[in-house]
């Protein structure tokens, strides 16, 4: 038994959290922005050609929206920071002032106007019908009685709802829609032209047809928090860009040089070759996923152990606290806890919590609720005589718990602990919703980049499986080591 083992674990954990915080805090927070003010843009980089990650090259976020945003901030003398997150989280990020503005191919809708202010629109996309070659649909009339795929919350969804006699399947992401179409779960998709063109180029079996612009569509615009003074500044630059042709140039350049990876086989077959350039980008996700799992597992275990001691304590308030704690964290969805932590902390404490820290915290807190019960069971299963022998030897409570009771308790519950770790590895994919670039998030980005839906998913599925396999073999080794004394 080494002296102060837990002390060291706690220190290491604290270092990890601080390090994670340091790594993932937007650098704007650390810099004294004396000369140039930094403004942060929120975007969901899975929508080429508007925004996507240059995963093959620099790893930076690129696209038409980025070009426009850079141009405007340059003109206004701001320094631009880009904060990627899921499309669903963008409005919340604006409202909680995590970002100063959002550009993410976001259409102006009445609902959104309730929560944010929009600039003038900078692009009016046209809707297109995407269908499989051989089963092409050339006009909206032909879609009667068919099943249609649209992106959730998009203007295309609103337009499609007005069509008569169609069934709608609304999904979050374009790659998912393409997959649904390939799999025959829908007959056709309605998406916007630039996106459709990209996918049709990459998948030979996809065809697209333009449809007349929907009436009342106000196009894409920049979103600001309600009452933001930035809106006027941005509008003035936008109108200058429109009048001197800069905007049109950017649009042409962006859509013209669209370089979708040409697929050498038919779009319906699986070709892992398309992933080759993205290998290192995807593999970096392992590091993020592992770092996150380790931080949340360690935090969850230590906090869970403390909670389990609270539960066994003879001080009633500690018992009540831990019981209520467990009940709340087990009784609400993890995803909800994650989003609450991520969006509520900046509002309540004026601390812009970095995504990875928020995720580690949420998962640790949640995992601790489950582990506290497991550990409590493990402690109760240790022979009472162990406690009496320790007391009789004059061993203080803390030392007894750490060196005598816990090692035996852990040995009892090792299989349950391994289960929890395995669950954490897989649940970690939830963090992609707040923009942490873990494996799943990266596969989304690669899906968007390659216009291929299935290959990235299968690939990271295999990675997850291997990670879990490695984890369980390590656990088996540990168990064998602990069984040494039997």
> At its nearest, how many Å lie between another protein and the CB of residue 422?
25
CB nearer to another protein: give 14 or 389. Answer: 389
CB nearer to another protein: give 344 or 389. Answer: 389
Q: Give strand pairing partners of 123.
A: 220
Strand 147-151 relative to strand 167-171: parallel, antiparallel, unpaired? parallel
CB nearer to another protein: give 4 or 216. Answer: 4
CB nearer to another protein: give 236 or 403. Answer: 403
Cβ within 8 Å of residue 130, ≥6 positions away: 178, 181, 188, 189, 190, 191, 196, 199, 200, 206, 207, 208
CA separation for the pair 467, 484 (Å, rounded): 26
CB nearer to another protein: give 115 or 399. Answer: 399
Q: What is Dmax (Cα atoms) for the chain?
A: 88
CB nearer to another protein: give 41 or 375. Answer: 375
> At its nearest, how many Å lie between another protein and the CB of residue 385?
4
> At its nearest, how many Å lie between another protein and the CB of residue 304?
21
Crossing angle of helices 279-312 and 5-24, in 10° steps, is 140
> At its nearest, how many Å lie between another protein and the CB of residue 395?
6
> At its nearest, how many Å lie between another protein and the CB of residue 403?
7
Q: Are 20 and 416 in contact (CB under 8 A)?
A: no
Three-state SS annotation for 432-484: HHHCCCCHHHHHHHHHHHHCCCHHHHHHHHHHHHHHHHHHHHHHHHHHHHHHH
Q: Are 86 and 152 in contact (CB under 8 A)?
A: no
Q: In what order do the strands lie in the sheet with 46-47?
A: 46-47, 51-53, 61-62
> At its nearest, how many Å lie between another protein and the CB of residue 344?
43
CB nearer to another protein: give 254 or 390. Answer: 390
> At its nearest, how many Å lie between another protein and the CB of residue 475?
18
CB nearer to another protein: give 259 or 485. Answer: 485
Cβ within 8 Å of residue 9, ≥6 positions away: 298, 302
CA separation for the pair 446, 455 (Å, rounded): 9
Binding site for another protein (CB under 8 A): 1, 3, 383, 385-386, 388-389, 391-396, 399, 403-404, 407-408, 411, 482, 484-486
Burial class (CB in 10 A: 0-12, 13-18, 19+), 99: buried
* Assigned token pair, 330: 């087990």
> At its nearest, how many Å lie between another protein and the CB of residue 386?
6
**Smallest Cα–Cα separation from 99: which of 429, 435, 336, 357?**
435
């Amino acid at each position: 038994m080494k002296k102060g083992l837990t002390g060291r674990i706690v220190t290491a954990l604290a270092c990890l959290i601080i390090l994670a915080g340091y790594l993932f805090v937007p650098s704007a927070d650390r810099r004294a922005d004396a000369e140039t003010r930094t403004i942060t843009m929120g975007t969901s980089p899975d929508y080429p050609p508007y925004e996507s990650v240059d995963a093959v090259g620099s790893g930076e976020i690129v696209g038409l929206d980025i070009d426009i945003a850079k141009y405007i901030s340059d003109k206004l003398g701001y320094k631009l920071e880009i904060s990627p997150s899921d499309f669903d989280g963008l409005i919340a990020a604006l409202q909680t002032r995590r970002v100063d503005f959002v550009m993410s191919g976001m259409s102006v809708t009445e609902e959104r106007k309730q929560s944010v202010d929009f600039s003038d629109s900078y692009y009016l996309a046209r809707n297109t019908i995407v269908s499989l070659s051989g089963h092409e649909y050339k006009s909206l009339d032909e879609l009667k009685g068919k099943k249609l795929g649209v992106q959730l919350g998009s203007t295309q969804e609103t337009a499609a709802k007005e069509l008569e006699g169609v069934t709608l399947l609304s999904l979050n992401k374009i790659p998912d829609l393409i997959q649904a179409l390939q799999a025959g779960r829908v007959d056709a998709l309605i998406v916007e032209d630039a996106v459709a063109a990209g996918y049709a180029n990459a998948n030979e079996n996809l065809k697209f047809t333009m449809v007349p612009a929907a009436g009342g569509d106000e196009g894409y615009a920049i979103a600001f928090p309600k009452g933001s003074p930035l809106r006027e500044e941005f509008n003035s630059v936008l109108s200058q860009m429109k009048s001197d042709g800069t905007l049109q140039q950017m649009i042409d350049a962006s859509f013209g040089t669209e370089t979708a990876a040409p697929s050498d086989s038919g779009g319906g077959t699986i070709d892992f070759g398309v992933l080759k350039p993205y290998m290192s980008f995807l593999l970096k996700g392992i590091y993020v996923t592992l770092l996150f799992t380790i931080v949340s597992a360690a935090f969850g275990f230590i906090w869970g152990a403390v909670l389990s001691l609270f539960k066994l304590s003879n001080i009633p308030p500690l018992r009540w606290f831990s019981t209520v704690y467990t009940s709340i964290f087990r009784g609400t969805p993890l995803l909800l806890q994650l989003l609450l932590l991520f969006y509520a902390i900046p509002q309540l404490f004026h601390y812009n919590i970095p995504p990875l820290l928020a995720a580690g915290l949420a998962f640790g807190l949640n995992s601790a609720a489950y582990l506290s019960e497991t550990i409590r069971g493990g402690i109760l299963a240790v022979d009472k005589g162990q406690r009496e022998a320790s007391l009789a030897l004059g061993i203080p409570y803390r030392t007894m718990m750490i060196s005598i009771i816990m090692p035996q308790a852990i040995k009892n519950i090792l299989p349950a602990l391994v289960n929890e770790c395995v669950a954490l590895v897989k649940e970690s994919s939830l963090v992609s919703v707040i923009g942490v670039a873990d494996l799943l998030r990266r596969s989304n980005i690669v899906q968007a980049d390659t216009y291929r839906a299935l290959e990235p998913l299968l690939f990271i599925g295999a990675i997850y499986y291997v990670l879990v396999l490695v984890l369980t073999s390590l656990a088996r080794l540990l168990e064998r080591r602990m069984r040494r004394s039997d």
